[in-house]
Amino acid sequence: MELIQFVRNHGDDSTDRGFQFEFFCDRCGTGYRTSFEASATGIATEALDVASGLLGGIFGTAASVSQRVHSAAWERAHDKAFAHAVEQARPHFRQCPRCTTWVCAERCLNEMRGLCKECAPDLAVEMSAMQAEAAIEEARQVAHAATREKVTAQAFDEVIKAVCPQCGAPASGGKFCAQCGAPLAADKFCTECGKKVPAGVKFCPECGKPQK
């Protein structure tokens, strides 16, 4: 008796009415489904069930016997349909000789190496991915530096443009306002993170940078 070769990555959607199977790639999950193939025994049994119902169960015994016959005949038809489905799916898959997984030939097979892309990655694709990652990281660093410089410049401008907290007159740079004589306490900002620093502190409370 001939054995039917099969793999674990398949699904059986067969019913009493007919046969249909699905096969999947172990790596990416891409699948192929075979066309539905009607079952002759299923159709015959369904016809007997309908006749039995219409005639008040006259064919009840005959339908029961037919169901037992249908079971054996259906199994044989199912095996035949499955073997045919395996042959239909085989051209779309390859078994990696290194890890023995079944992968789709379209996306997950490195044809040049004869291995799946887990065992033998596509070097051109991997190089492109690494270049893209490097470009993203470089852009992130540039953006971070630009943001930091912008904050620092803004903080510096705020110090230069300090005004008297009492009358609003522009600060002249001394300790007291030249217009009203109120004491001036210009805000200090950390040169590293740009956050406001209380007067007299030696280290920034946000980033810890020493303050002059």
pLDDT band at 59 (very low <50, low <70, confident <90, very high): very low
Q: Is residue 179 part of a domain?
A: yes
In the chain the first and final C-alpha atoms are separated, in Å, by: 91
User: Are residues 115 and 50 both part of a single domain?
Assistant: yes
User: Whole-angstrom Cα distance, residue 207 to residue 196?
Assistant: 11
Is pLDDT above 70 for 17? yes
pLDDT of residue 138: 81
- The total domain count for the chain is 2
Residue that the structure tokens 């000789």 belong to: 97
In this structure, the answer to whether residues 31 and 112 fall within a common structural domain is yes
Range of the domain at 63: 10-124
> In a 3-state reduction of DSSP, which class is residue 38?
strand
Mean pLDDT on 104-113: 93
Asked, for residue 95, whether it belongs to a domain, the answer is: yes
Q: Is residue 4 part of a domain?
A: no
Strand partners, 94: 103
Domain endpoint, select from 92, 124, 156? 124
Q: Which of 74, 96, 124 delimits the end of a domain?
A: 124
In which band, very low, low, confident or very high, does the pLDDT at 172 lie, cut at 50, 70 and 90?
low
Condensed to tens digits (0 to 9), the pLDDT of residues 32-45 reads 999 999 988 765 55
Give 175-192 pLDDT, tens digit per residue.
Answer: 667 778 776 655 567 777
How many CA atoms are closer than 13 Å to the CA of 134, on its beta-carbon side?
A: 6
Specify the pLDDT at position 58: 45
Q: Is the pLDDT of residue 49 over 60?
A: no
Is 2 inside any structural domain? no
Q: Which residue carries 């779309």 as its tokens? A: 92
Average pLDDT over every residue of 171-176: 62
**Do 114 and 150 belong together in one domain?**
no
CA distance 15 to 33: 15
